[in-house]
Every structure is written in C-alpha cells, then in structure tokens.
Structure 1
Amino acid sequence: MHATDSKVSPRALVLGAIGVVFGDIGTSPLYTLREAFGEVYGLEPDRANVLGVLSLVFWAMMLIVTVKYVLVILRADNRGEGGILALMAVVQRTLPVASPTAYTVGLLGVLGTALFFGDAVITPAMTTLSAVEGLRVAAPGLEPYIIPVTLVVLLCLFGFQRFGTERVGKVFGPVMLLWFVIIGLLGAIELATNPRILEALNPVWAVRFFAEHGVAAWLSLGAIVLAVTGGEALYADMGHFGRVPIRNAWMTVVMPALVLNYFGQGALVLARPDAVHNPFFELVPSWGLYPMIVLATLAAVIASQAVISGAFSLARQAIQLGYLPRLKLVHTSHETIGQIYIPWVNRLLLLAVIALVLGFGSSSNLAIAYGVSVSGSMLIDTLLLVILATQRGRIPMPVIVAVGLFYFVVDSAFFSANASKFLHGAWFPLVLALAVFTLMRTWRRGRQLVRAKVDRESLRLGPFLQSLMLSPPVRVPGTAVFLTPSNQFVPPALLHNLKHNKVLHERNVILSIETLNIPRADAGERVHFVQHDHGFSCLTLRFGYMEDHDVPFALRRWEIPGEAFEPLETTFFVSRESLSARAGHGMALWRDRLFLFMSRNAAPATEFFSIPGNRLVELGTQVEI
C-alpha cells in the first residue's frame, strides 16, 4: 500500500495506519505506568506522584508525538517518504556538497539508523513479554511458562517473515482498532469512578513532581519515555499511508484511546495502590483476562511486525545509499513493491531478540534498556530538523532557536535519564548501535577507498579511445555493457577483455549506476547518455533509494537514446574485485579486515542488479586498500 495509490480510500489509509504505524506506541500502556512506579525509581503511588507521572505522560505525548512529529516533522518529507535517512537526505540537499555540516548531518543520519536497529531488537522482546506477562495476573501458577510462551511467539513471528505480511497485514488495522477501542473503554470506565484524576491534565502537577523529587523525577523520565516509543514510526511510515491519514488516525483514535487508558490506570492506582504492579491488566474484569491477554499478544505481534518490516526497509535504504553491503532481497508481494524480506537481517534480529528475552528475563528489566535508542533517535530528529529550518529560512531565526533549544533540552533530558542506567541494561542498545554505526561507516569508507584506488589506476576514457584506433582490434557482433562505478574511466573489465580476448563488440556501452538521495527518481532524471566515436557510449542509470536496481528492466523499458538493447545480443562484463589490506594504508587495519569480511559476504553485484547469469562475463582485478 502506498499513499500515492489513488485506488486506496482515505478510510482504508487511516485504518491501515492504525494497524501498522501505531503498533509500538499503542502497546505502551502495557508497561509505562507500571515501570514509572517500579522499584528502580522508588516512587510511592500516592496522589501527588500519580498525578505528576500522568501529567508527564500526557504532556510528553502532546509535545513530542502530537506537536513535534504529527504537526511538524511530517511536513519534512522527501518526495512523500519519511524516516531518519529521508530526513538526512532532505537536509543534505540544502547544504553545500562536502561541507563540514553536510558531513555531520551524514554522521547523524547513520547514528540515527543504528539506534533504530536497537529499537527493532528491543521492541519485539519488550512488547511480547509484556503481553504474555498478563498470565501472572490471570493465573500466578503459570508464571514459569511466560518465557517459553514468549519465545514460541517470537519464533513464529520471525519464521513467518519469509512468507511476507501482505495477507496478515489486511487484518492489522481491524485488530488494532479493536485494541484501541477496548483499552479506551476500559480506561473510560475506571475514569468515571474517579474523574478528579483529570487534574493531571494541568502541567503544574508535572512541575510539582520535579520540584519535590528532583533527581528521582529526572531519572523517572526513563519510564515516561516509554509512552512515546514509536513516535519515529509516524514519520518513517509516511510513505506508505501519507501525512493526512496518519494525522487523522492519531487525532481521532489513537491519542484519545491512549489518554483514556493511562488516566484510567491512574484512577485505579489511586483507588487500589497495590494495582500498581500491573495496572493495565488490573483494569480488566476477571472474566476478560484471558481474551485480553490474547488480544494484547496479537497487538504486541503487530507492533513487532511493524518494527521488523521497518528494519527491512531501512536496511534496504542503507544498502541502496551505500552504507551497507549488498544483501539478498526477497520480494514477498507481487502487488506491493515495498514489502521485502532480508534473510540476513531477519536472522540477526531473531538471535538478538532471543538473547534479550533470555538475558533480561522480564519486561521490567528490558524497560531499563528500552528508552535509550528511542530518546536518542528523537534527539537526532530534533538536531536535523533545526538544521533544515535554518537552511530553508522560512521561519525567523529567534523562533528556530527558542523552539529548537526547548526540544533539545526535553530530548536531552529523556536521553540522559535513560543513559544513566548504562550499567543496568542501557548498555545493550548503545553497544548495538555503536556496532551498527561502525559497520555502516566502515563499509561506506571502504567502498570510497576501493573506488579511489581503481580510479587512480584506470585510464581516462577520451585518451583511451584515441589510442585504441591506432591499432583497431577485431570487432564481433552484438552489444557489450561494461559496468563501472564511474564512466569517466575505462572499466577494468574492458581492459582485461581486450588483453585476454583481443576483441571488441560492435557496440560498447560503459554503464554506471547512481543512487539518488530521493526515494524514487522521476522519468526525466533517470537516464544520462553520451555518444562517443568508434561504437562507444557512456550511460548512467539513476535510481531512487527505495527502488530496485533492475538493470535489464531499465535497459528494456526506459527511454534511452540510440539502438534498443536486445537481450539475446547483449553481454554484460563485470569486474570482480579481489581485495586485500595492508597496514598503514586506508583505514585502521582492523577496519580494513572488517571491510574485507563484509565484502566476502555481500551479494554479488550481478545478483543485486538482476543481471542474468547466462549473459554475464566476470573478470577479476586485484585491489589493495
């Protein structure tokens, strides 16, 4: 489903957004209030503390989700697409190429992507564990089965990825709509018994809470941030549903249901302080506990599915933009091109999620680690948005500074409160993000070094063509396409072909592939063609970072000057680089070796570009970095 699909009705888009976009934030009532009054923070569930915490939860949702994401960041789209890499690309287009600010923006984008992968690991573990832990309320004797049941659910979830989400995705919306209706109704029923809990809408209670508890109140932000986890998903999924359906879904369904449930939980805790150990399931009548556990588990699976699909999509964008090695992509839908499955990413996520469940053992322990990646992503979004607003110049600078400083302080408070629990579990998402950041930066830098090395040792195309005609080689019928990173230089495969086979085809096309920092390229910017003498031409095919780089399809269907490309008469020549590293050159030796390992495990360029094996000739070349 895509927002630009005119056949999809506005109501269907809203329902789809409810099912996909809001799964993460929609399941946050399972654990947020419980964790705020957990042993970690030592807060007593008295009236002042309950009102203070509820006030913080409410205003966090209003200021961060409603104002920052729904009303502001959703406007910073990249041709309809959202997400941290899309925002990075939008900001970089407003900056001078190779400027220090553009480099910093690139680092922030990669770091934000790395933090998202941390979220993609913790969310399935956290939400599924929280849902299954409802068994502890329904039947305490079943507590030993919580971990095994959670692992079974997760194994089924990740095992299902290879089949795609097209069919099950159609029921996501109705299930999540039912979830929001029920949790809102449960909260409203309890709220009616103690309407004075609505005093927490007054931000004065949040101010009093901080004035009374000081450092403890700041640390409790590590639990409050759980109420806004998934805010980034509103922006990341904009390309699938559009700005207006996401905004309407939040304003009319999701936000009211969440507010009602949180305030209902608060009213219950005031009436029965012992309910603070699991106020969400304590709201449910005893006869409805088991059905609610099933519904909560379904909601958790949907929330997990959304973030797993987001990880696939983000990994694909990173691959297209040159931040990750080429990996095998499997399309799981014939109708929706955005639905993909990446086996390597799926396996790594599954192993990490299982390790989290077994290592942390409970959602309360996981909650300590949960907020770091989310709050870090929110902080990076704020920094990128401020840079973008500054470059566009549509808003007065004093307003940008004031608003930017306010959100910087808010996001920094959330991040620092979560990072302060480093030794208690917050280290995991930070270490994971650092590992992903290192992989992405190493691959990007390594490819730059390889390309620079090849370019230095290659001949310029113009002088080569002039010298070639001094002693013309034998010509054979057909078309030869030589893939190369830059068609300003003679491809190594062309030189090797001349050296070993001593022939040239009648028609020789030097082809380079370029990935633009936009999601989908327009027809007018897809092709750049230059005709040279002696049967040579240079062709550049440009793809957006959300598109498949299907070279044979582009050669057949796109409007390319000159003769048509006949599949049976076209041979593709590719250089297969044999890489080696030497100390004192390029990157640090350990990064060189890491890059070589990633290169050996990357999918072949021919597979990535969909080049048929029966029309392919690969010629090796040695490259030392």
Structure 2
Amino acid sequence: MEGNGDDHDEMENRTPLRRLDSLDVEANHIPDGMRHSTKVLSKALILKLAFESIGVIYGDLGTSPLYVYSSTFPNGPPSKDDVLGALCLIIYTLSLIPLLKYVFFVLQANDNGNGGTFALYSLICRHAKVSRFQNEEVEDQSLSGYRLQRSDRASRMGAKIKEALEGSPFAKKVLLLLTLLGTCAVMGDGVLTPAISVLSAVDGIQTKVQSLTEDHVVLISVAVLVILFSLQSFGTEKVAFLFAPCVIVWFAFIGGIGIFNIFNYDASIFKAFNPYYIINYFQRNGRQGWISLGGIVLAITGTEAMFADLGHFSVPSVQIAFASLAYPSLLAAYIGQGSYLLKHPENISQTFYKSIPEPMFWPMFVVAVGAAIIASQAMISAVFSIVEQSLALGCFPLVKVVHTSSKLIGQVYIPEVNWILMVLCVAVIGIFRSTTYIGNAYGMAVLAVMLVTTTLVTLIMVMIWRTKLYLAIAFFTIFGAIEMIYFSANLYKFPEGGWLPVAFSSVLVIMMAAWHYVTSKKYIFEADNKISISSLERRLESDLMLNRVPGIGLMYTQLVQGVPPIFDLFIENLRALHSVIVFVSVKHLPVSTVPKDERFLVRRVGNRDYRMYRSVVRYGYMDPAIPHGEFEECLMESLKRFVMLESYELEMLDRGMYIEKAEENKEHSGNVERSSHSTEDKKRSSGSIQEQQSNISERKEEVRNELEFLSTAREEGITYLLGSSVIEVAPSSSIGKRFVVNVVYNLLQRISRKSRVALQIPHKRLMEVGITYTL
C-alpha cells in the first residue's frame, strides 16, 4: 500500500517529522508520583508482607532439599569427605548467590518496586536510547516520569558504555535477545519446577510403601499436576492465604528435623563451614567433582523468584523473610541431611525421606506434597505474568489474558499457556521419570536466568547507579564466574537432560524475536505511509460522496502521530464515516504501571468541524487491559474533559492577548497628551472588552454544542474499526527474512488469538477492513 496525496505529501510522509506532536510528548509523561516508588511502609506492614511473601516466593527454593543430595551423588554412596565437601559447597553457594547477590544487590535494581528481567531492561531503556519496542520515542529520556535516581559521582566509563550501546544497532539487538533469553529461561522453569517438585515429593512414598513401583509414582505425579493445572482458571486468590502458613510449616519441619539430625547422628558436620573442604573436594574428585556441581546448583533453584515476584511485596519484606526464615531453615536442613549421610551414606538416593524420624514421616510427606504444589503454583503464575508482560511489549503472539483477582493485578490466567505447560510437564515426567535427569535440565534453566540478571544488573550499576568501576567489575567477575562454573557443569550433562531447556528456550526466543521483528516492521510501515493532516483535510472537503453516519467510530492504530493508512481504505470501501472518529493508539511504556487518571490522552485531528480526535491509551508493562465497557466510559470522559480544557486554554490565551494589547495601548497613550486621547482610549478599551466577551460566549456555545454532539453520538453507539492485516515480503528479500515472515510469523499469527480478543473488543460491534503490509 502506498501513501496518499500529492508528491509533497508523500515526501512529508516518508521523512521524519521536524516538529514533535504534542500528544506524543505528553503520551510519554508519567506523573512525578511514579518517579521512583521506593515503598515507604510501616514496620507492621513490612512484617505482614514478609509473612505473605513466604508462601509466594520461597516455595521453590524451600523444596530444594528434596533432591539436592540425590542429584549430586547419582552414582552411589559418597565418602565422608565427599559429604563434607558437597555440604561446604551448598553452604557457600546459598550464602553467596541468594543472600549476598540477590538480597543486597539485585533487589535494589527494582523498577518502581517491580522486579524481573523486563524490569531491568526497562530501567536500561529509560536511561539509554536502546529500546527496540514499538512506539518508543526519543523524548522518553527527558520526561520526569522516566528520570532515575542516580549517584552524583561522574562515571566516564558509564557514559562510554551508554554511548556505545546507543550507537550500535547490533548491541541493541543483543540486549533485547538477552532479555528475551532471560524471560524464556523463566518460562522453562515453569515447566521443570512442577515436574521435579511434585515428582520428588511423591517419590518419597516408596520408602514406606514398597509395593509402589516407579510407574505408580509417575502416574500419581501426573494426576497431581493435571489437577493443579485444571484449577488454574479459578485463580489463586481464594487459596493464597493458605500458602504462607503451609510453607512456614514446611520450613519449620525441615529446620527442626535438620537440627534433630545434627545432634542425633554426627555433630562434626559443622566442619563443613571450613572452605578447605571445597578445595579438598575438587582435589580428590577432579572432573567428577566438577560434574557434581550440576546437583549442588539445585540448592538455589527458585532464587530468581525473590526478584521476579518483588512487585507484590517490598524490598525490606523480601529481605526479612529470607534472612530470618528461609536461609537458616535451609542451612539447618542441608546440614542435618549431611549429618545423616555421614552415618548412612548408602541411603543417598532417598536422603530426605530416610533422614526423617519415624513418627514425623507421614506429616512430613503431606506437607512436602503441599509445598511442592505451592512451589509449582508460584512458577506457573510467574509464567502467566511474564507472558502478559511480553504481550504488552509486542514480543509474544496474542493470547487471551483473564484477570482472576480484582485486588491483585498480577494474578492472571492464560488458557493457552496453561494447557501447553500442563502437556509439557506431563511429557517431562513421562520421558525422564527421574529427578536426576530433570535436575540436569532444571539447572541449565536456572543458571541462564541468573547469568542474564548478573549482566543486566552490572550495566545498571555502571550506567545508572554510577558505581565505581572496580566494584561493578568485582560484582560481575565474582558472581558471573560462580554461575559460569555451575553452568559449565550443567552443560556437560547436556545429553542427559540438559538439552531440554536449551531446546525450549531456543524455540521461544525465535518465536518471540520473530513476532517482535514483524510487529516493529508493521509500525515502521504505518509511520512511513501515514496520511498527512493536509491530505486528510483535502480528502474530507473534496469528497462530496462521503457521508457521516450517526455514532462513534474507534479506529485502532499503532501510530501516535498522523493518520494511519488504514483510514484511507475505510473511506474507499465504505464511502461513509461515523459522525465522530477517534484514532485510538494503545501504547505500552517502559514503566511498571500508569495511574488510571493519567491513562487517556486526547488531541484533536484536523478542523473542529471534522469531529475527529486522537487518543493515546497508556499502559505500563504490568497493567491489565481495561474491559471494553469501562474503556468506553473512560474514553468518553476523556473526550469531554479535553473539549472543556481546550476551551479553557483558548480563553486564557485570549485574556493574555487582551492584557498585552491593553499594555501596548497604555504605553502608546502615555507618549501623547492624555486629554486629547482619553475618550478614544476608553472607546478602544470598551470595544476590546466587548470583543473578548463575545469570543468567550461564542466559545462556550461551541463547547456546549460539541459536548451535546458527543453525547448524542455515544447514544447512537460505538463501533470498533480494525485493520485485518496480511504480511508479505518484498520479492528481493533475503531467505532469512522470508523464513521469519512467511513461516514463523504467519504460523504464529494463524494459531494466536485475534486482535479483537487482546483488545477486549465486543465482536458484534466490530468492523474490519483488510490491509496488506509489504515488509
């Protein structure tokens, strides 16, 4: 499709605008209240949030003792020195990664109280011009809502890194792909966490019921998962209050049993706090010791949840919950199991359940299954939230998002994703049938997320926090090296299950990158072929056959400037327009939330008599879509508010011009004899006042008429106007581009939901016109 108008208009359409659209600038403005929302909370509220966070965040991390030792030593009983060495690695891994890295560093890199990979990317995009998301404009960096709290210390290296990122299209692509890789790895966790947690918990029943075989354990685990995924449509709000008490009981059990085992078996286990045993462990075991790190790393699975789920709580509450309950309970559990293994190394495959005192077995089994379900629920919910964020940023095919809670915006349910996760979880358990193989896959996914987080936080430290360079390098070197060592150990187990998250993440990255690439190209196409205001005015004034029918037409477009090319197709096909036309642009900003009273921004398109407006509807990446009924009411209120505000601003402008003219008259009259001009000045002043009053009366009448016109049009009904797009590639395109567009994108477009579903448009009031995009 080509732009409309004469040669001058086409040239105007295909060159960057020299004047900023005021709506576009305002659309990127977020109130000062959203500038840096570090939550200032009372001590009582912090403690309440800390209690609630235990059930949501720490289920995955807390269930790791179920399988760590068995995954570390899958080939047989370990020696006493091996047990001490493995425990020493567990202790310092827990202390360095979750406690030191996340609690003291990563949690501080939040985006207005929200965490996760997209939050880190959002912070970087608001500081440097590196965003590749659609509708992002260069004016973002100068607006108050995007300003970040930074240190006053100058950082020459930070400025150089920022300049290098901004000047390199390749670096921008790498940064986006890195972000997508991190989010895809978390989605991989959503498949593996339910599988390994439930299978590990159910597997313990074999220690008491010898007649149950591995097939029975697999079937019971699959049944638990099917029930869990089937209940997702009800949401977690009704049962969420049970999560925290259940997980607290779990931590109390594993901590208490751990302390009991320490004194009941071998208290010399405390020697494992000596780092010497790590060196000794690798000296004695060599390559096998390095391979066993793939099991040790499972002790920190679920750590990323502390940051990813931060938005529902606060930094102090998450820190308190981990430091006061999760960390000491986990240490006690691992030390207690180690003490048991010093006496009974032959029970390595069932360390957790074998180390439980006889009277506590069945209560512990019930609580373990409950904790495993909670851990699975937390990761499933996290995947739903990530998919919703990816949708908002144009990186995921359209799916149906159902908000299951009226109180917590983060609680969503996505049917397609839910059933795909269930099938994948069941397939993983059916294929691998063992926590050892699933653990090999699990470690790869966990470490991929951690490496991405380390890289992005380092960039934030240098560019935004302006941390001293040697401290940022130390952060990246220490934690990056630890995670790379663990990652390499899991990479060695690639044929034994490690391939699964790599394959899964690769498919997701290709899918998300292809979707984002094509949607970005569609936006560029619309921007290059938009209709200029002068062309629009000539078209409307010259087309005598164009009728205006009653009602309001909402025409959706990605553009926040100009008139979209689809508008011309509607005119050509229908030969009629609604009496009121509103160009609606849904714009997602690199902030977490946008207040509802700042959601809608309206400007006029063309002459007042055209009754055409443009509205930008702004969302943060965590904001739910507004239902169409409420959306229509909010939009109408915004239109009326704009009309009244526009009149008020024009009135103030007239008053300012009148005062300026009066001052000029006064100055002029002071240079001549006042007596000879006093009568003339009075007449001139009186005439100006009458003229001003007349203008104000006319304007008030125009406003009254326009408001009545909008109300009448609203009563006639609202019609949604959408373009049904077909994507084509130019004949000269490369093979890679043809594959991305013709194969990957078109396949995703066919199996994904339609735009009307994502925008929550009622089907009976929808009108579509086909448009072809040539990329």
Moved more, 607-616 or 271-280: 607-616
Larger radius of gyration: 2
2:234 aligned with 1:163, yes or no? Answer: yes
2:503 aligned with 1:354, yes or no? Answer: no
Structure 2 equivalent of residue 428 of structure 1 = 500
* 1:517 Cα deviation from its structure 2 partner: 1.5
SS at match of 1:335: coil
Kindly tell me: are residues 204 and 617 of structure 1, through their superposed partners in 2, closer, same or farther at Cα, counting changes over 3 Å? Answer: same
Kindly tell me: are residues 585 and 273 of structure 1, through their superposed partners in 2, closer, same or farther at Cα, counting changes over 3 Å? Answer: same
The one-letter code matched in structure 2 to 1:45 is P
2:507 aligned with 1:411, yes or no? Answer: no
Structure 1 equivalent of residue 739 of structure 2 = 590
The one-letter code matched in structure 1 to 2:724 is R
2:755 aligned with 1:605, yes or no? Answer: yes
SS at match of 1:278: helix
2:178 aligned with 1:142, yes or no? Answer: no
Structure 1 equivalent of residue 31 of structure 2 = none
Structure 1 equivalent of residue 247 of structure 2 = 176
2:320 aligned with 1:243, yes or no? Answer: no
Give the counterpart of 2:187 among 105, 113, 117: 117
Rounded Cα–Cα distance in structure 1 between residues aligned with 2:523 and 2:111: 28
* 1:504 Cα deviation from its structure 2 partner: 2.9
The one-letter code matched in structure 1 to 2:354 is E
Kindly indicate whether the alpha-carbon contact (under 8 Å) linking 1:485 and 1:513 is maintained by their aligned counterparts in 2: yes
* 1:488-503 correspondence to structure 2 within 5 Å: 488-503=561-576
Kindly indicate whether the alpha-carbon contact (under 8 Å) linking 1:3 and 1:239 is maintained by their aligned counterparts in 2: no
Give the counterpart of 1:90 among 100, 123, 145: 123
Structure 1 equivalent of residue 74 of structure 2 = 38
2:549 aligned with 1:476, yes or no? Answer: yes
2:361 aligned with 1:289, yes or no? Answer: yes
* 1:457 Cα deviation from its structure 2 partner: 4.2
Structure 2 equivalent of residue 542 of structure 1 = 618
In the TM superposition, what whole-angstrom CA distance separates every residue of 1:408-442 from its partner, at most 9, and x where no partner exists? 11111111111111111100111001001111001
2:196 aligned with 1:126, yes or no? Answer: yes
2:730 aligned with 1:577, yes or no? Answer: no
* 1:84 Cα deviation from its structure 2 partner: 1.2
* 1:273 Cα deviation from its structure 2 partner: 1.7
**Aligned CA-pair RMSD:** 2.3
Rounded Cα–Cα distance in structure 1 between residues aligned with 2:443 and 2:178: 18
The one-letter code matched in structure 1 to 2:727 is L
Structure 1 equivalent of residue 104 of structure 2 = 71
2:633 aligned with 1:556, yes or no? Answer: yes
Kindly tell me: are residues 377 and 215 of structure 1, through their superposed partners in 2, closer, same or farther at Cα, counting changes over 3 Å? Answer: same
Rounded Cα–Cα distance in structure 2 between residues aligned with 1:72 and 1:457: 46
In the TM superposition, what whole-angstrom CA distance separates every residue of 1:493-512 from its partner, at most 9, and x where no partner exists? 42233223322333322221
In the TM superposition, what whole-angstrom CA distance separates every residue of 1:444-496 from its partner, at most 9, and x where no partner exists? 01112233334444433443224432345333333322111114343344223
Rounded Cα–Cα distance in structure 2 between residues aligned with 1:74 and 1:356: 32
Kindly indicate whether the alpha-carbon contact (under 8 Å) linking 1:580 and 1:596 is maintained by their aligned counterparts in 2: no
The one-letter code matched in structure 1 to 2:769 is L
Give the counterpart of 1:313 among 367, 385, 401: 385
SS at match of 1:234: helix
Rounded Cα–Cα distance in structure 2 between residues aligned with 1:276 and 1:344: 40
Kindly tell me: are residues 126 and 624 of structure 1, through their superposed partners in 2, closer, same or farther at Cα, counting changes over 3 Å? Answer: same
Rounded Cα–Cα distance in structure 1 between residues aligned with 2:305 and 2:722: 39
* 1:131 Cα deviation from its structure 2 partner: 0.6
Kindly indicate whether the alpha-carbon contact (under 8 Å) linking 1:482 and 1:491 is maintained by their aligned counterparts in 2: no
Rounded Cα–Cα distance in structure 2 between residues aligned with 1:55 and 1:305: 31
Where does the alignment leave 5 or more consecutive residues of structure 1 unmatched? none
Give the counterpart of 2:350 among 270, 278, 290: 278
Rounded Cα–Cα distance in structure 1 between residues aligned with 2:53 and 2:560: 43
2:439 aligned with 1:363, yes or no? Answer: no
Rounded Cα–Cα distance in structure 2 between residues aligned with 1:204 and 1:23: 32
Kindly tell me: are residues 227 and 253 of structure 1, through their superposed partners in 2, closer, same or farther at Cα, counting changes over 3 Å? Answer: same
The one-letter code matched in structure 1 to 2:412 is I
Rounded Cα–Cα distance in structure 1 between residues aligned with 2:203 and 2:38: 37
Which ranges of 4 or more aligned residues in structure 1 deviate by more than 6 Å? 2-8
In the TM superposition, what whole-angstrom CA distance separates every residue of 1:347-400 from its partner, at most 9, and x where no partner exists? 111111111101001112211211001011111110111111110253111111
The one-letter code matched in structure 2 to 1:170 is F
SS at match of 2:239: helix
Structure 2 equivalent of residue 14 of structure 1 = 50
In the TM superposition, what whole-angstrom CA distance separates every residue of 1:124-169 from its partner, at most 9, and x where no partner exists? 1101111111022122221242111111111111111111111221
* 1:582 Cα deviation from its structure 2 partner: 6.3
* 1:111 Cα deviation from its structure 2 partner: 0.5
* 1:581 Cα deviation from its structure 2 partner: 5.1
Kindly tell me: are residues 48 and 339 of structure 1, through their superposed partners in 2, closer, same or farther at Cα, counting changes over 3 Å? Answer: same
Moved more, 242-251 or 435-444: 242-251
What is the TM-score of this pair, normalised by structure 1?
0.94
In the TM superposition, what whole-angstrom CA distance separates every residue of 1:311-363 from its partner, at most 9, and x where no partner exists? 11111110111000110112222333321111110111111111110100111
2:330 aligned with 1:330, yes or no? Answer: no
The one-letter code matched in structure 2 to 1:24 is D
* 1:207-218 correspondence to structure 2 within 5 Å: 207-218=279-290
Structure 2 equivalent of residue 61 of structure 1 = 94
SS at match of 1:622: strand
Moved more, 86-95 or 221-230: 86-95
Kindly tell me: are residues 251 and 352 of structure 1, through their superposed partners in 2, closer, same or farther at Cα, counting changes over 3 Å? Answer: same
In the TM superposition, what whole-angstrom CA distance separates every residue of 1:563-600 from its partner, at most 9, and x where no partner exists? 56736543221111133456653753332222012112
Rounded Cα–Cα distance in structure 1 between residues aligned with 2:104 and 2:582: 48
Give the counterpart of 1:389 among 461, 464, 468: 461
Moved more, 482-491 or 440-449: 482-491
Where does the alignment leave 5 or more consecutive residues of structure 2 unmatched? 1-36, 132-165, 644-706
Rounded Cα–Cα distance in structure 1 between residues aligned with 2:38 and 2:373: 24
SS at match of 2:542: coil
* 1:525 Cα deviation from its structure 2 partner: 5.4
Kindly indicate whether the alpha-carbon contact (under 8 Å) linking 2:46 and 2:314 is maintained by their aligned counterparts in 1: no
Rounded Cα–Cα distance in structure 1 between residues aligned with 2:82 and 2:66: 19
